[in-house]
Structure 1
Amino acid sequence: MKGEKAKQVIKNILSPLDIRINGDRPWDIQINNPQFYQRVMSGGSLALGESYMDGWWDCNALDEFFKRLLESRIDKKNKSVKPAILWEVFKARVMNLQRGARAFIIGRRHYDTGNRLFKLMLDQGLNYSCGYWHNACDLDEAQIRKLDLICRKIGLEQGMTVLDIGCGWGGFAKYAAETYGVKVKGITVSKEQAGYAGEQSKGLDVTIELADYHDLNERFDRIVSIGMFEHVGWKNYRSFMDVVHRCLKDDGMFLLHTIAGNTPAKATDPWIGTYIFPNSMLPSASQIFRAAEGLFILEDLHSLGRYYDQTLMAWYDNFTRNWDRLKDEYDMRFFRMWRYYLLSCAASFRSRRNQLLQIVFSKQGIDQVFRSEGELFI
């Protein structure tokens, strides 16, 4: 598509969304390279992200720009299928991208990006998942409230054994062991996370291992998985549930904390898959429950998606405020990539295109109510 025609097509797409080309509002886009239009028309969302990383366009409020795009369901209205999207779908359908050695790719490509980066961006406990902002004043408090919410939902008691699948930098393991007196085993596919989590939990009844969940074969009173299921892949949802069922005692409980899409998916956005979370994809609620059928009983379902927007904006504020302390380790293209990632994801929750679910399962049903009498989680 030639330049002027491509420009007019994009203008026609953006105008009904109240987004102007070279406008003066924060969510308007500023074009720095006239080849931007052709590049995006031929390359779709991958090209949109790459052209931003390359400085071909700018936007002061990327989160508001993406909120308008996502609320309009522009991706559903555009009938043309880009090659990058076809490739992502092909890979996801034909290959099992999350089994064997591939399970560790996400650790190397994303979570090993640098502990210093995440220390400056996240809360003090390095919790890289949605905070619980109800009555919280800041990010640290929101994350502590999230950890305690999880502990209360699964009824942790002193002496229990707990498995944390995808333990990250050990925030939950450390909190649960210190606060509730439980024994925790955490596993991760990131060397950087495993090393840090092990150091942070010294002196506690916590074990951290670099391992794939498929290899687990121990029994625990409680199992949690916080922000890891997004890397399991649709072909492995059932096998993940099989592992949890195998490792959970008959009277145990399992809490799954995961981002979820509104509809079933078998691939991810090409830009996110290429630059941020390789081999990832978001499950839908129906995919999760179908995978759990016959293995678990649903005890509780809690939607927290509105809090992820707030969490991501807090991470973005920390990242930009501390950029001067990071810029010697990362170049400006990385800064633009990370900014694009955090703000576009914030918009995905603000527009309710993505959700955050906390789901509690049991194997045989539970009689005890673990919440405080009359408490309502909102």
Structure 2
Amino acid sequence: MASDFSAMLGRVIRTGQLQVVDATGGVVAFGDGAGRPLRIRLADDTVGGEIAADPALKFGEAYMDGRLVVEEGDIFEMLSLLRRNGIRRAATPGLKAKSLLRLLAYQFSARVPVNRNRRNVAHHYDLDARLFDLFLDHDWQYSCAYFQPRGISLEEAQTAKKRHITAKLLLQPGQRVLEVGSGWGGLGMYMAESSGVDVTGITLSEEQLAVSRARVTERGLSDRVRFELTDYVDLKGEFDRIVSVGMFEHVGLANYGKFFKTMARVLNKEGVFVLHYIGRVKPARAINPWIEKYIFPGGYLPALSEVLPSIERAGFLVKDIEMLPMHYAWTLRAWRERFVARWDEAAKLYDERFCRMWEFYLAAMEAAFRHDRLPIIQLQLARHQDAVPYARDYIGEAEARLKAFEAACPPLEPVRF
């Protein structure tokens, strides 16, 4: 085993128990022996050194390539062990310098005036639709569910998420609603059916657009719900309500001013805007290099302190802020368990390397939500002081009405493709 890899693990792992088997069969143990035993194997003589030289990128690549194999436990438990022990202790002066260079490169790229939105979205969301069918709920909600009460199923929690967001929008029949980042259409259809509104959804994913339009036609909602392949920067018209779920992470650190000014321009004076996104507790200035390279190019998870100045400059009033700190960890756990249970089907769509990449992504994100205090943030914004009631009682009252609608409404059919 490379001495630098062994030294890195020795700096990090103080509690728990990990065995590392090198390519010759030698075994080195780390930790204090407490908790569930984990065991990994390095498949060749060089992979340990590569990981030690760039753990933020190479650990995930080694797992994808089958050069780092988890023989006892799973990859989530391995990542969780590292985070529980304080992964930052792995940093050497060389690694700190590498991180600084990456941060500078990311900041420069984020400020270059080139619109990469469509390319970045296609990288992730234009994957084979059958992949998402393996692990999402029947409505293909690909954002954090709302586990209220705790212990409900993923399907129930995703419905609760749609209900909670719809309640905050204060919808009235006949209103025009804009959904920025419309996914596979489930929220738009829910709002139209539950509240009698007219919905326009925009997306940059051609795969999502095709599925959404087919679902709307099948549901008989074409007169009230439409989806367009449009970037938010090209929006025209005026809307009574705006909602955006799971899209803001892709806007980019340098574009927050443009985003909120655009939303303010197309929202009427008495309108309400609900924004749901993954945040963090303090600025990071960059994204993990493995996530940037393989999963979400151009993405960034902002702290409130990075978002609120642009909101204020755009003329919005912050009417409500809600932090959901563990709901995405529970969502990701459900997705990962479902994906692993249907691994063979995913491998037929792509290959084993892709499956390991996707598992690593879901596991790494869950570990981050559990150990790095990442929250889901829901912001309710308005341009007029009286656009939203002065107390939050209306949210629960609206949710009760929406539950009654759900009980009487025919359930949405599973996504077909």
Please confirm whether the aligned pair reaches a TM-score higher than 0.5, indicating the same fold. yes
2:338 matches 1:327 = no
Secondary structure of 1:162 counterpart: strand
Whether the aligned pair in 2 keeps the contact of 1:304 and 1:355 (CA below 8 Å) is yes
Alignment match of 1:61 (pick from 53, 70, 74): 74
Post-superposition offset of 1:76: 7.0
The residue number in structure 2 matching 1:11 is 9
Alignment match of 2:116 (pick from 93, 99, 102): 102
Whether the aligned pair in 2 keeps the contact of 1:305 and 1:349 (CA below 8 Å) is yes
The residue number in structure 2 matching 1:237 is 256
Whether the aligned pair in 1 keeps the contact of 2:204 and 2:229 (CA below 8 Å) is yes
Equivalent pairs counted in the alignment come to: 374
Alignment match of 2:175 (pick from 141, 146, 160): 160
The residue number in structure 1 matching 2:133 is 119
Whether the aligned pair in 1 keeps the contact of 2:346 and 2:355 (CA below 8 Å) is no
Alignment match of 2:87 (pick from 52, 64, 74): 74
Whether the aligned pair in 1 keeps the contact of 2:140 and 2:186 (CA below 8 Å) is yes
Q: What TM-score does the superposition give when structure 1 sets the normalisation length?
A: 0.92
The residue number in structure 2 matching 1:140 is 155
The residue number in structure 1 matching 2:328 is 308
In 2, the alpha carbon distance for the partners of 1:99 and 1:168 equals 26
Whether the aligned pair in 2 keeps the contact of 1:27 and 1:62 (CA below 8 Å) is no
In 1, the alpha carbon distance for the partners of 2:52 and 2:124 equals 28
Percent same amino acid among aligned pairs?
35
Q: Which has the larger Rg?
A: 2
Post-superposition offset of 1:20: 1.7
Q: What TM-score does the superposition give when structure 2 sets the normalisation length?
A: 0.84
Secondary structure of 1:58 counterpart: strand
* Residue identity in the other structure for 1:240: F
Cα deviation code 1:211-230 (max 9, x no counterpart): 11011122111111100111
Secondary structure of 1:124 counterpart: coil
* Residue identity in the other structure for 1:197: S
In 1, the alpha carbon distance for the partners of 2:374 and 2:44 equals 31
Whether the aligned pair in 1 keeps the contact of 2:326 and 2:369 (CA below 8 Å) is yes
Residues 140 and 219 of structure 1, relative CA distance in 2, 3 Å threshold: same
- Superposition map of 1:202-351 within 5 A: 202=217, 203-204=220-221, 205-294=224-313, 295-351=315-371
* Residue identity in the other structure for 1:36: V
Post-superposition offset of 1:194: 0.8
In 2, the alpha carbon distance for the partners of 1:70 and 1:230 equals 23
In 2, the alpha carbon distance for the partners of 1:316 and 1:225 equals 24
Whether the aligned pair in 2 keeps the contact of 1:169 and 1:196 (CA below 8 Å) is yes
Residues 281 and 76 of structure 1, relative CA distance in 2, 3 Å threshold: farther
Whether the aligned pair in 2 keeps the contact of 1:11 and 1:21 (CA below 8 Å) is no
Secondary structure of 1:298 counterpart: strand
Cα deviation code 1:41-83 (max 9, x no counterpart): 2122101110111112223232232223234442376243548
Whether the aligned pair in 2 keeps the contact of 1:121 and 1:316 (CA below 8 Å) is yes
Residues 166 and 26 of structure 1, relative CA distance in 2, 3 Å threshold: farther
In 2, the alpha carbon distance for the partners of 1:246 and 1:76 equals 46
Residues 261 and 32 of structure 1, relative CA distance in 2, 3 Å threshold: same
In 2, the alpha carbon distance for the partners of 1:327 and 1:77 equals 33
Whether the aligned pair in 1 keeps the contact of 2:9 and 2:90 (CA below 8 Å) is no
In 2, the alpha carbon distance for the partners of 1:77 and 1:313 equals 26
Whether the aligned pair in 1 keeps the contact of 2:19 and 2:38 (CA below 8 Å) is no
Residues 303 and 209 of structure 1, relative CA distance in 2, 3 Å threshold: same
